[in-house]
Amino acid sequence: MFQHEWKCAWGEADPQGIAYYPRLINAMHCAGEEYMDDNGIAYWDIPEEYGVFLPIVAMDMEFERPVMVGDVLQISVEPEIGNKSLGMQFTATHEDGGTAYTGHEQHVCVSEEDNQSRPLPDEIKAILGDTAE
């Protein structure tokens, strides 16, 4: 399972020291970007290499424990590979192992030429399928 480490900095929190939720969304998305890049499929290279885009069409999060300034989270990424889509399931845990939040991003595969949905390229499916547990 892929892990991304993220630390809540002062500028990412409200005056009470609690992480501002858009920063947690960004941390989750960055974990997904690093997961893709770590597997040789950088988002910014996908259109040129495969002729498709993978825009996000849905996202959700569920918070279980607050994240405070200075907290270090481990954000795990698990892919969910569909025919025309790529989902990513995230779990962010505190250093004590307790869950801070879980989240999900749903990407759809669309053609660079006509912006219509199309099957996820077989090479992407194969590479990411090898990382799924």
Radius of gyration (C-alpha) of the chain in whole angstroms: 16
> Which tens digit of pLDDT belongs to each residue from 101-129?
999 999 999 999 999 999 999 999 999 98
The counts of H helices and E strands in the chain are 3, 7
In CATH, what number is assigned to the domain containing residue 64?
Answer: 3.10.129.10
Look at residue 1 and tell me whether its pLDDT is greater than 90. Answer: no
Domain count, the chain: 1
Determine the structural domain holding residue 62 and report its residue range.
2-129
Its pTM stands at: 0.92
Taking residues 23-51, report their average pLDDT: 95
